[in-house]
Amino acid sequence: MPSPLRHFIDTQDFSREELLRIMELIRLLKDADKNGACPRLLQGASLGMIFEEPSTRTRVSFEVAMTKLGGHALYLRPGEIHLGQRESVKDTARVISRMVDVIEARTLKHQTVLDLVANATVPVMNGLTDYNHPTQVVCDVFTMMEHKLPEKSLSDLHVTFVGDATNVCSSLMMICTQMGMHFTHVAPLRYQAPKAWQDIARANIKKSGGSLTVTDDVDAAVKDADFIYTDLWWWIGQESEIPDRKRAFMPTYQVNDKLLARAPAHAKFMHCLPASRGVEVTDAVMDGPRSIIYDQAENRLHTEKALLAYFVYPRLKFASPNVVSNYRTCVDDFLHASELVG
């Protein structure tokens, strides 16, 4: 009996305990990989990766994760499959589900990933939408656990997100409050997290503890921060807003040495990447001793391995060696009888 079909679309669909279990699995698979012993749990399995937008980290981490687990990944980009042009999301999801064991999708609209979920018969993993980026933030909290002061627990940690209310900001706000951490979003009023997100985060806090602060006061936002996180100030499709956005954010909300100096000495810098160096963050911070951006990026690989193992491995069928051998004999006999094999 295969395990029930579950998707990874939003951390809000999972309990704090289950997210922590996934992070334990990241730890295990990272250690295994570092020792050249990544278990080939997904031997013979395939991942279909749908990308409506460009990607470096998500694409490479999912593809390499599948290879390390013994499986295979297919990169399906616009123009190469019919999705949205000559074929509905529904038919795409139903057809691909008959051929692969898991689907990863980066879609322009969150609704598209929900439509894939509604029609897929294999797990769907959200590789970023216009609403959220759950694989990124599971990786981020795992990275924080690796880099926090040893005497602090998760519930002691203050995470300050500086800048635009991006999809990463939304997801980070959700997971941090699910974990009982203290989350601050600091931005000019117009670019702050909307009330709907804050309502979800406050409901998380009621269950798990922690706190949420949304402010435009950078000094107050960074003074207790353990981690300072930023993201791009604009994304594809927002080019016409660049002058307004630059005026609103620069220089107050740029993560530079002056801003970091106002945070505790142990505070670390994080960025989901890609970054616009010299815009939302300076080279000095990106390349400085407090930056953990490349550890964070590497952890995307270990996170994807854990998510794939967690959601896909329990659903795979592995026949006993006897059954495999019987089928091999039947097929060999058939090919010999057909005089296809000498």
Tell me which residues are annotated as active site. Answer: 106, 133, 136, 231, 272, 300
Among 38, 45, 47, 57, which residue sits at the site for ligand CP (rule: CB under 6 A)?
Answer: 57
Asked if residue 273 binds ligand CP (CB under 6 A), the reply is yes
Closer by beta carbon to ligand CP, 138 or else 205 = 138
Asked if residue 220 binds ligand CP (CB under 6 A), the reply is no
Closer by beta carbon to ligand CP, 60 or else 95 = 60
Do 162 and 188 contact (CB within 8 A), yes or no? no
The DSSP code for 51 is E
- Shortest CB 61 distance to ligand CP, Å: 8
**Owner of token pair 């435009």:** 216
CA distance 249 to 187: 8
Among 136, 177, 282, 299, which residue sits at the site for ligand CP (rule: CB under 6 A)?
Answer: 136
CA distance 190 to 282: 23
Among 55, 170, 192, 299, which residue sits at the site for ligand CP (rule: CB under 6 A)?
Answer: 55
Asked if residue 167 binds ligand CP (CB under 6 A), the reply is no
CA distance 242 to 212: 28
Residue 294's alpha-carbon distances to 58, 242, 268, 274, 276, in angstroms, are 14, 27, 12, 11, 15
| Residue type (1 letter), 60 | V
Asked if residue 107 binds ligand CP (CB under 6 A), the reply is no
Segment near ligand CP (CB under 6 A), from 219-227, 256-264, 272-280, 306-314?
Answer: 272-280
Among 69, 128, 141, 275, which residue sits at the site for ligand CP (rule: CB under 6 A)?
Answer: 128
**Owner of token pair 């402010």:** 215
Helix (H, G, I), strand (E, B) or coil at 75: strand
* Paired tokens of 170: 């939304």
Asked if residue 143 binds ligand CP (CB under 6 A), the reply is no
The DSSP bridge partners found for residue 73 are 47
- Shortest CB 136 distance to ligand CP, Å: 5
Residues that bind ligand CP (CB under 6 A): 55-58, 128, 136, 272-274
